[in-house]
Structure 1
Amino acid sequence: MITQIKQLLKQKNAVLVAHYYVSGDLQDLAQETGGIVSDSLEMARFGQNCDADTIIVAGVKFMGETAKILSPEKRVLVLDEQATCSLDEDCPIEEFSKFCDAHPDRKVVVYANTSAAVKARADWVVTSGSALTVVKHLHENGEKILWAPDKHLGRYVQNKTDADMLLWQGACVVHERFKADALSALKVKHPEACILVHPESPQAVVELADVVGSTTALINAVKDRDEQTFIVATDNGIFHKMHQVAPSKTLLEAPTMGEGADCESCAHCEWMAMNSLEKLLSVLQTGENEIKIDKNTSQQAQHSIQKLLDFTEK
């Protein structure tokens, strides 16, 4: 199957871009065939800057949309069009537009985990790695902010910047499951461990962290820090890349479930798990699951994303 996929990628001048949370075989295949494994915005930027005619996104739907927004002239395919994101689903454009209209004095800042339509309604699109810098900049310029969709990331940014932020009440189904009391108990068992937390996690979990950061920042922490043991509070798909960059280090999953649960940690996105080699082969053979966005929405969303790209390149 992998041989077939590699042949078809070449034949169709297609590139595979994969998120850190999909299965290890898809991540390895993306790297072996000249693609990339990264977070959603870097996946889209890679697709924009490469010579491929077709970008195949192993991730979830909003990632395919982001890739299409930055590469409107290219064909963008996702492995499963039903693979979505709770943050995206929790922020429907009709309700979000009403929320924005009710607060016209605020700059609208949305997280990358949103639909193309929500990005088009925003003034800024940010990532978990850039949210603090952008909001700090806006706050220092006297702006009040309307933030969506992740309430935990929003609260983290608000606490760090003291910005005037009105928060949409969305949450990631994976990160919201992490339990502070169980994490504290695990730390007692492993006092030498460094706790790594994604800021989409609840505030009580974030407060226990030694490092709070984006997927890329957490991978770099495992690679660069001196500790040999890490407790990781994010989707366990990230362990594949962490093991690659630091094969000698011990990685423990942060607890998501309380006593009596079937698993101590169930930290894996069910939609990310919908991506597979079989679906990749099918998409290459059929051209199905193509992402299409109307021109006006795409252009407005691109403007919001480009603001971030220009800002972070300064």
Structure 2
Amino acid sequence: MSVTAPQIEIDIPLPKPPKVLSEPEKQRYQDKIKHQLEQHNAVLIAHYYTDPEIQAMAEATGGFVGDSLEMAKFGARHEAQTLIIAGVKFMGETAKILSPEKRVVMPTLEATCSLDLGCPADAFSEFCDQHPDRTVVVYANTSAAVKARADWVITSSIALDVIDHLDAKGEKIIWGPDRHLGRYIQNKTGADMILWQGHCIVHDEFKFKALDQLKAMHPDAAVLVHPESPESVIELADVVGSTSQLIKAAQTLPETKIIVATDKGIFYKMQQAAPDKELIIAPTAGEGATCKSCAHCPWMKMNILENLSTVFEREGVDIEVDKDVAVKAMKPLKRMVEFVNS
């Protein structure tokens, strides 16, 4: 008899889109951010899914743009004593766990993630306790408390390799929280996995029919899909991969047109890597789709020049992780880093 993990319904209001800034306002905030980074011995670290102007700000000031693990590793090795994490809260927590001696701040601590929200630590831990014979593997898109309950933390770039490794050892797995990524890995590896029923609101909105129609309009285009997308969408892909892997694919594929099924914030770095390619966002509106996100995470959009410029003037911007939780979460994070470096 198959075992199904509970599905946690997320019923929260999405944040409102930020106001549009004039060019003089942008310049004023950019100048202030540069000054404050120097003044506070700080570095700006941004995720691929933040708005292009935030990614450009990180690049222009000697910071970094990357995925969640790359962000945390960059912060750990950088000499700055303060890390400004432009992303969502679990990214700030991971950076703090890997750099406990540093101050870690965020433009807003209200920037969260539907995967994180859909995997409450208490409910997930209780479910894991019901299956003590299974190895607990969680995606990086989870809270520090969920990571602390895990045996392994992984990113999408190493998920297949880690699960293949564990399956070869005969280990049975509890996977959380993204059901689509879990199903993709299960199909590829054949591993015995119980899948927690979470999802990313951005990737969950890509639909087979709309993407199939777009492919028909651009038969010469390659299709790149993030594995957090539904199984039917993945089946239409020429390349399935993490953010870094999709950027690499856009750069190396021979096709000059690329249809991209992931958060459109990735276009900033993808276009840098493949300046001669035409990038087309996969549809999230139309028949069978709701366009709650319109291919851009509403919480990532909360990282704006205005709140970034005032991060050292406000309270409630510091990431703090309970020491016991941090110690427990460090074990699966360290296991992941060692696996990558092995």
TM bucket (normalised to shorter chain) is: over 0.9
> 1:51 is matched with which residue?
79
> 1:169 is matched with which residue?
197
1:110 correspondence with 2:138 = yes
> 2:49 is matched with which residue?
21
Amino acid at match of 2:103: R
Name structure 2 gaps, 5 residues minimum.
Answer: 1-28
Q: CA offsets per residue over residues 47-74 of structure 1, 9 Å max, x none?
A: 0001011000000000000100100111
Query: CA 1:112/1:122 → structure 2, altered by over 3 Å: closer, same or farther?
Result: same
Amino acid at match of 2:212: S
> 2:171 is matched with which residue?
143
Matches within 5 A, 1:261-276: 266-276=294-304
Q: CA offsets per residue over residues 121-147 of structure 1, 9 Å max, x none?
A: 000000000110000000000100000
Q: CA offsets per residue over residues 26-56 of structure 1, 9 Å max, x none?
A: 1011111111100001100000001011000
1:232 correspondence with 2:260 = yes
Taking the aligned partners of 2:288 and 2:164, their CA distance within structure 1 comes to: 43
> 2:148 is matched with which residue?
120
Amino acid at match of 2:101: E
Taking the aligned partners of 1:235 and 1:83, their CA distance within structure 2 comes to: 16
C-alpha deviation, 1:266, in angstroms: 1.1
Taking the aligned partners of 1:7 and 1:311, their CA distance within structure 2 comes to: 39
2:331 to 287, 292, 303: 303
> 2:243 is matched with which residue?
215
Q: Is the 8 A contact 2:175 2:196 kept in 1?
A: yes
C-alpha deviation, 1:285, in angstroms: 3.1
> 1:284 is matched with which residue?
312
> 2:18 is matched with which residue?
none
1:130 correspondence with 2:158 = yes
C-alpha deviation, 1:260, in angstroms: 9.5
Taking the aligned partners of 2:81 and 2:177, their CA distance within structure 1 comes to: 32
The SS at the match of 1:56 is strand
Name structure 1 gaps, 5 residues minimum.
Answer: none
C-alpha deviation, 1:78, in angstroms: 1.0
Q: Is the 8 A contact 1:9 1:284 kept in 2?
A: no
Taking the aligned partners of 1:211 and 1:175, their CA distance within structure 2 comes to: 15
Q: Is the 8 A contact 1:66 1:116 kept in 2?
A: yes
C-alpha deviation, 1:2, in angstroms: 1.0
> 1:87 is matched with which residue?
115
How many residues are matched? 314
Query: CA 1:28/1:94 → structure 2, altered by over 3 Å: closer, same or farther?
Result: same
Amino acid at match of 1:209: A
1:31 correspondence with 2:59 = yes
Taking the aligned partners of 2:319 and 2:292, their CA distance within structure 1 comes to: 37
**Cα RMSD between the aligned structures?**
1.5
1:76 correspondence with 2:104 = yes
1:41 correspondence with 2:69 = yes
Identity of aligned residues (%): 60
The SS at the match of 2:310 is helix
1:159 to 187, 190, 198: 187
Amino acid at match of 1:256: T
C-alpha deviation, 1:287, in angstroms: 5.8
Q: Is the 8 A contact 2:135 2:171 kept in 1?
A: yes
Q: Is the 8 A contact 1:77 1:287 kept in 2?
A: no
The alignment's TM-score, normalised by the length of structure 2, stands at 0.90
Taking the aligned partners of 2:81 and 2:312, their CA distance within structure 1 comes to: 13
Taking the aligned partners of 1:271 and 1:264, their CA distance within structure 2 comes to: 12
> 1:190 is matched with which residue?
218
Q: Is the 8 A contact 2:43 2:62 kept in 1?
A: yes
Q: CA offsets per residue over residues 68-118 of structure 1, 9 Å max, x none?
A: 010011110011111100000000011001001000000000000000000
The SS at the match of 1:52 is coil
C-alpha deviation, 1:284, in angstroms: 2.8
The SS at the match of 1:285 is coil
